[in-house]
Chains A and B, each alone.
Chain A
Amino acid sequence: MTTLALPTRKPARTRRGWALLGLTPFAVYVLLFLAIPTVLAVGTGFFTEDGAVTLANLAGVVEPAVLATFGSSFWVSAVTAVIGAVIGGLVCYAMLGTRASGALRTIVDSATSVLAQFGGVMLAFAFIASIGGQGLVTVWLIDTLGVNIYENGVWLYQVPGLLPVYVYFQVPLMIITFLPALEGLKPQWAEANATLGGTRFTYWMRIAGPVLAPSFIASLLLLFANAFSSYATAAALISQGSQIVPLQIRSALISETVLGRENMAGALALGMIVVMVAVMWGYSVLAARTSRWQR
């Protein structure tokens, strides 16, 4: 023991030097593939195609039509995040107490991972097959209940159509992000609650609730950000137009020379990032709060 404890100072310092060196590969990687692309993407909003500095692109972002697009993106993200968080939270609660190595947990783990981030284009296909114009559910509803969900026109390929599809990948993402927090509840707290004469209700209201609130809201914000920045599903469902911000960026990228506003995509991206920074700032504050009691 003593021989191990003796050589402290100098090796420790050299080890610290080596450790710092160990951070460089990741730093270089992030610089090349995250920092530089981000600066390039956002920076273009301030320039014309010729390289002259301009604010015209930014002025374009506050035009009513573009602002309306931001509004659509905002409410789609908010609605699907809340629905996803509530349903996902319920599933997490249902999963509580199941064995981490059990078959149920393994199946839910896999299914949520697949649906949350694997979906994209294929979820659009699945929803077209179920609630598209000739979809299974659509036809069934007309045949058996006489209900036509498209009485006032087909809404699946417009903004309202994004809601069911987005909820479909928000719920699994909620399960993935929130379940670890729920599992972090220490059994001792429940024991202490029971020892002190607390009921199930006091446990959830006084202990689990307050402890979980920050991570629940953090997960909610993550879901909002996820929907706000989601592109693939919307691109597959809505082949033309620019109803939400990511689709507007697509339009700007495709038709940038036609519009005469060459770097509009960059300006839109900047507007999008402003919203995202606000949301993710809230997330990081809450996440820091959460890690306090987890330590």
Chain B
Amino acid sequence: MSRRVGSEVHLGLAPSRVTRWAILIVVAAVFAIPLLSLLVFSFSAGLGGGYTLDHWTGLFDPENARPYRTLFQAIGNSFLLAVVTVAIVLVLLLPTMLLVHMSFPRLRRVLEFICIIPITVPAIVLVVGLAPVYSIVVQVLGGSIWTLAFAYGILVLPYAYRAIQANLDGVPVVTLSEAARSLGASWPVVLWRVLLPNLRRGVLAAAFITVAVVLGEFTIASLLNRRNLQTALLQISTSDGYVAAILSLLSLAFAFVLLLIIGRLGSVGNRSTP
């Protein structure tokens, strides 16, 4: 299944080296401007001009630990939510998609329709109806922050679905599983050793997007009065813009590195497969 790139280049499918880098460098440079501005702002000394490290050192100063404690707590909340939401995608969505793809092809359109609904019904609309639902959830499961992941699992459905489905469409799942079955593989073996390795890119992409969506989620947390990273950031930006800038940069960088690591793990596995 591994594609050799060399043949494609000669056949004129890929852009030339110059074209590729010209496009990538120009776009990357333009996209770097806002983030670099945020970085410069986090070092600026205020109205008098000049630059200082005070805003950065102040954030990690143990003396300031108390005022920033709720902020750090909010960051923890967001990461907990990201983990639980990825689990929801892997445990609820992925098996359902595989089942539908293999056993109930007629339900494919239904599943796709369901998974697209959260785009058609945006978070700002959903949150109005989620409020009464969550008043019951709190009674049943308690008011812990992780329950918000149920709502987030819905929010990421379109993106997770698209990522997995794009991969699923490119892989002859039925043929592969029939071949494996005819060679005596049990269903768990088919799933684990035949299907999942072929769907690795899609599943990883789904996890990427899920983490990114959850860490950036503002609408539902804000209107259901839950404290996550984004609501805490907007709150503190009115009183301390520098801290908001620093934490924005740090969390963007952290998410980037996190996704980078996941991506590297995926590609290392890729390379070891013949």
- State yes or no: do A and B come from one complex: yes
Check B190 for interface membership: any CB of A closer than 8 A.
Answer: no
* Residues of chain A with a CB closer than 8 A to B182's CB: 1, 4-5
Check A79 for interface membership: any CB of B closer than 8 A.
Answer: no
Interface residues of A in 199-225 (CB under 8 A from B): 199-200, 203, 208, 222, 225
Chain A nearest CB: distance from B149 CB in Å? 10
The count of residues in chain A whose C-beta lies closer than 8 Å to any C-beta of chain B is 109
Report Cα–Cα, A281/B12, bound state, in Å. 35
A295–B13 touching, CB < 8 Å: no
Chain A at the B interface: mostly helix, strand, loop or mixed? helix
Report Cα–Cα, A184/B201, bound state, in Å. 13
B12–A200 touching, CB < 8 Å: yes
Known contacts: A29-B153, A291-B169, A295-B169. The answer to whether A114 contacts B259 by CB under 8 A is yes
* Residues of chain A with a CB closer than 8 A to B27's CB: 87, 90-91, 171
Chain B nearest CB: distance from A106 CB in Å? 4
Interface residues of A in 98-149 (CB under 8 A from B): 98-102, 104-107, 109-111, 113-123, 125-127, 129-131, 135-137
Chain B nearest CB: distance from A147 CB in Å? 16
B128–A114 touching, CB < 8 Å: no
* Residues of chain B with a CB closer than 8 A to A127's CB: 34
Chain A nearest CB: distance from B25 CB in Å? 10
* Residues of chain A with a CB closer than 8 A to B201's CB: 100
Interface residues of B in 188-221 (CB under 8 A from A): 201, 205, 208-209, 211-213, 215-219
Check A154 for interface membership: any CB of B closer than 8 A.
Answer: no
Interface residues of A in 247-264 (CB under 8 A from B): 249-250, 253
Chain A nearest CB: distance from B230 CB in Å? 5
A118–B153 touching, CB < 8 Å: no
Check B226 for interface membership: any CB of A closer than 8 A.
Answer: no
User: Chain B 122-163 against A: per-residue CB contact (8 Å), 1 yes, 0 no?
Assistant: 111111111011000000000000000011011001010011
Additional pairs, 13, CB under 8 Å, beyond known A110-B208, A136-B41: A22-B99, A23-B104, A41-B127, A95-B24, A97-B14, A99-B5, A100-B267, A129-B41, A193-B11, A199-B12, A229-B119, A273-B125, A294-B169
Q: Residues of A with Cβ closer than 8 Å to B? A: 1, 4-5, 16, 19-20, 22-23, 25-26, 29-30, 32-34, 36-42, 44, 87, 90-91, 93-102, 104-107, 109-111, 113-123, 125-127, 129-131, 135-137, 168, 171, 176-177, 180-181, 184-185, 187, 190-191, 193-194, 199-200, 203, 208, 222, 225-226, 228-232, 235-236, 246, 249-250, 253, 265-266, 269, 272-273, 276-277, 280, 283-284, 287-288, 291, 294-295
